[in-house]
Amino acid sequence: MDSGEAWPPQQLNLTAVPQFPLVCAGDDLAQLLLSRLPAPDAAAGAGLAAGAGLGDGAGLRDGDVLVFAQKIVSKAEGRWVRLADVAVSQRAQALAAQVGKDPRLVQLILSESRRIVRAARDVLIVEHRLGFVLANAGIDQSNVAPAGEGECALLLPLDPDASAERLRAALAERSGCRLGVIIADSFGRPWRVGTVGVAIGVAGWAAVTDLRGQPDLFGRTLRATVVGHADEIAAAASLLMGQAAEGRPVVRVRGLAAPQAMSDSRALLRAPGQDLFR
Amino acid sequence: MDSGEAWPPQQLNLTAVPQFPLVCAGDDLAQLLLSRLPAPDAAAGAGLAAGAGLGDGAGLRDGDVLVFAQKIVSKAEGRWVRLADVAVSQRAQALAAQVGKDPRLVQLILSESRRIVRAARDVLIVEHRLGFVLANAGIDQSNVAPAGEGECALLLPLDPDASAERLRAALAERSGCRLGVIIADSFGRPWRVGTVGVAIGVAGWAAVTDLRGQPDLFGRTLRATVVGHADEIAAAASLLMGQAAEGRPVVRVRGLAAPQAMSDSRALLRAPGQDLFR
């Protein structure tokens, strides 16, 4: 093997934070996370071999990106709505009949959305007030514990970029590390089967990386090379989070190259005028 | 930290294979890869510390997934077309004027496609003969060395699932390991800015994981939880591959849970009748 290339080669390490508890409204997610990242000394004291636990001894390091599942951010922010408390409009009632969903849920979806992109039996795809195009305005009833009596639904965070920034600032202050924070959700897609992780909030990192204008391997200029960087990070983290009972809502990503420029999740939103699929 | 959960926590390790050479038609990609994965003894003999190089000493291990960039698979399969050799139809000529692209490239796109999904200035999104909906039928001119004289374009592999299976079989035979192979490309998306890695060929692994019917954390049954598993792996690998001059076309993914069931990339294709965005 010759040595013309940087060595060791680029590596990426993803670790699901162990033992994350069920999250309640008002919980301090930064604190919950830090209490589950063993400090090097604590790990040694507990008899953990180097490399056990979170893999590298130190809990956090400059350049780490923490990916939080949207659900726990919404839960910590108390974004519950009791379905019994929802006043259903005539419009929601009619739409619910069309798509075959609970009218109270449809009302919540409409309240969270700018407009309907597609409606059909079992399908309600909207443009969320935050600009995301997604099914059911991101409102989910699975893995949502009833908050008090009655059935509840959980809305997306009010402002996921702001949530990510608060988490980043709290983690940076308490750890002394320069970190990125991504809030991830799973979205369905046109044309392809299955959900994939996407970034709905980004702080301290780049939502997109833009390689336009850089030369390719043969000196030709690259064309369409804006990369959905934070979405790829969210998709990678999603491989560890699982969807069901695993309960792994935070993943630490270590080894990413520092981004060229910071951007929040709005950089990932195509302007409606530049989109042929609305 | 209590011990009710499996320990160590789930981890994922991604490593870009170092020093991958430029690929030519006829190259044996399995052999090129294996020659770049240091065997444990060789690494020790070269004075590499444990954990250097490909991170874990052994080059391959049961359960590893190898992600190959589409471009090197196409190149190895000789999927070049010289633009000067393309006979342009009247339809391609008219469409090229509409979208503002090279008529010979548009002819190739049409030849590779079942139908046009959207055409507009600078945009030509088609349903590829393999079922993928993507821009320009996946034909790229960046990082494509001229093959002999004149400008060339590189088509997708004839049958990427078959290509993945050939690679998997060759690697399994020579390494003795049970492996997954994914052929990855970068696709643009409606609604969101930036390309993300997707799987266009899958062998020995699961393209999708289906959690429908499993209970969630609170015993409610999960609803929409088919996950685009191989797409998430491709997106994760894309974080290491880069788009430009880095030349990291193969990534080893280590630590994924063994899939419930194998499926090839066709499992990721939404049936046209189930798609509201064509």
Q: Which domains does chain B have, with CATH numbers?
A: 12-78+157-271 (3.30.1330.100), 80-155 (3.90.1660.10)
Question: Is residue A44 predicted with pLDDT exceeding 60?
Answer: no
Question: Is residue A4 predicted with pLDDT exceeding 50?
Answer: no
Q: In this complex, do B16 and A14 lie within 8 Å of one another by their Cβ atoms? A: no
| Tokens linked to A1 | 């093997």
Looking at per-residue pLDDT, the higher value among B198 and A210 belongs to B198
CB-CB: which of A19, A188, A233 is closest to B2? A19
Question: Average model confidence (pLDDT) for chain B?
Answer: 85
Contact list in A for residue B277 (CB cut-off 8 A) is 118, 190-191, 277
Contact list in A for residue B211 (CB cut-off 8 A) is 243-244
ipTM for the predicted complex comes to 0.89
Radius of gyration for the alpha carbons in chain B, expressed in angstroms and rounded: 21
Cα A181 → chain centroid: 9
Neighbours of A162 (CB within 10 A): 13
Question: Is residue A224 predicted with pLDDT exceeding 70?
Answer: no
Nearest to B184 by CA among B101, B251, B131: B251
Instruction: Note whether A202 and A182 are within 8 A (CB).
Output: yes
DSSP letters spanning chain B: ---SS-SSPPEEEEEEPTTPPPP-TT--HHHHHHHHS--HHHHHHTTPPTTSTTTTSSS--TT-EEEEEHHHHHHHTT-EEEGGGPPPPHHHHHHHHHHTS-HHHHHHHHHTEEEEEEEETTEEEEEETTS-EEEGGG-B-TT----SSS-EEEPPPS-HHHHHHHHHHHHHHHH----EEEEEEEE--SSB-SBEEEEEEEESS-S-EE-TT-B-TTSPBP-S-EE-HHHHHHHHHHHHH-SSTT---EEEEE-PPPPSS---GGGGBPPGGG-S--
What is the spatial distance between Cα B225 and Cα B213, in angstroms, rounded to a whole number? 9
Rounded to the nearest angstrom, the minimum Cα separation between B212 and chain A is: 10
What is the spatial distance between Cα B231 and Cα B207, in angstroms, rounded to a whole number? 7
Q: How are strands ordered across the β-sheet holding B11-16?
A: A196-203, A180-187, A65-69, A250-254, A11-16, B11-16, B250-254, B65-69, B180-187, B196-203
Rounded to the nearest angstrom, the minimum Cα separation between A133 and chain B is: 6
Nearest to A107 by CA among A133, A131, A132, A126: A126
Torsion region of B189: left, alpha or beta (phi above 0 gives left; psi -120 to 50 gives alpha): beta
User: pLDDT digit string (tens) for B192-233?
Assistant: 999 999 999 999 999 998 876 666 666 666 566 799 999 999
Q: In this complex, do A191 and B277 lie within 8 Å of one another by their Cβ atoms? A: yes
Q: In this complex, do A13 and B18 lie within 8 Å of one another by their Cβ atoms? A: no
User: pLDDT digit string (tens) for A155-195?
Assistant: 999 999 999 999 999 999 999 999 999 999 999 999 999 99
Mean pLDDT (whole number) for B112-120:
96
User: pLDDT digit string (tens) for A75-84?
Assistant: 999 999 999 9
Distances in Å between the alpha carbon of B57 and those of A44, A198, B42?
A: 25, 33, 9
Contact list in A for residue B225 (CB cut-off 8 A) is 142, 195, 243-244
Tell me the angle at which helices B229-241 and A229-241 cross, rounded to the nearest 10 degrees.
130
Contact list in B for residue A148 (CB cut-off 8 A) is none
Phi, psi (degrees; rounded to nearest 5) at B61: -150, 150
User: pLDDT digit string (tens) for A48-71?
Assistant: 333 334 444 458 999 999 999 999
What is the spatial distance between Cα B187 and Cα B156, in angstroms, rounded to a whole number? 13
Q: In this complex, do B224 and A190 lie within 8 Å of one another by their Cβ atoms? A: no
What is the spatial distance between Cα A208 and Cα A212, in angstroms, rounded to a whole number? 12
Contact list in B for residue A248 (CB cut-off 8 A) is 9-10
Question: Is residue B5 predicted with pLDDT exceeding 70?
Answer: no
Contacts of B219 (CB under 8 A, 6+ apart): none
Q: In this complex, do A52 and B8 lie within 8 Å of one another by their Cβ atoms? A: yes
Question: Is residue A36 predicted with pLDDT exceeding 70?
Answer: yes
Q: In this complex, do A276 and B125 lie within 8 Å of one another by their Cβ atoms? A: yes
Looking at per-residue pLDDT, the higher value among B130 and B275 belongs to B130
3-state DSSP call for residue A276? coil
Q: In this complex, do A143 and B267 lie within 8 Å of one another by their Cβ atoms? A: no
**pLDDT given at position B146:** 55
DSSP 8-state symbol, A51 = T
Contact list in B for residue A222 (CB cut-off 8 A) is 142, 243-244
Neighbours of B32 (CB within 10 A): 18
CB-CB: which of B1, B192, B216 is closest to A19? B1
Rounded to the nearest angstrom, the minimum Cα separation between A83 and chain B is: 16
Q: How many CB pairs under 8 A join A and B?
A: 290
* Band of pLDDT at residue B37, cut at 50, 70 and 90: confident
* Band of pLDDT at residue B86, cut at 50, 70 and 90: very high
Q: Quick one: what percent of chain A has pLDDT higher than 70? A: 80
**pLDDT given at position A49:** 39
Question: Is residue B67 predicted with pLDDT exceeding 60?
Answer: yes
List the single best residue of A71, A193, A221, A233 to mutate versus B (max B Cβ within 10 A): A193
Lowest mean pLDDT among A124-138, B115-129, B249-263: B249-263
Bridge partners of B183?
B68, B201
Contact list in B for residue A208 (CB cut-off 8 A) is 193-194
**pLDDT given at position B245:** 43
Q: In this complex, do A196 and B227 lie within 8 Å of one another by their Cβ atoms? A: yes
Contact list in A for residue B101 (CB cut-off 8 A) is none
Nearest CA in chain A to B272: A191
Looking at per-residue pLDDT, the higher value among B151 and B102 belongs to B102
Q: In this complex, do A268 and B194 lie within 8 Å of one another by their Cβ atoms? A: yes
Contact list in B for residue A152 (CB cut-off 8 A) is none
Q: In this complex, do A239 and B233 lie within 8 Å of one another by their Cβ atoms? A: yes
Q: In this complex, do A220 and B145 lie within 8 Å of one another by their Cβ atoms? A: no
User: pLDDT digit string (tens) for A103-122?
Assistant: 999 999 999 999 999 999 98
CB-CB: which of B1, B14, B198 is closest to A36? B1
| Tokens linked to A58 | 């130190």
Instruction: Note whether B154 and B140 are within 8 A (CB).
Output: yes
Q: In this complex, do B248 and A9 lie within 8 Å of one another by their Cβ atoms? A: yes
**pLDDT given at position B272:** 87
Contact list in B for residue A37 (CB cut-off 8 A) is none
Rounded to the nearest angstrom, the minimum Cα separation between B9 and chain A is: 6
Instruction: Note whether A55 and A14 are within 8 A (CB).
Output: no
**pLDDT given at position B10:** 84
**pLDDT given at position B252:** 95
* Band of pLDDT at residue B250, cut at 50, 70 and 90: very high
User: pLDDT digit string (tens) for B103-114?
Assistant: 999 999 999 999
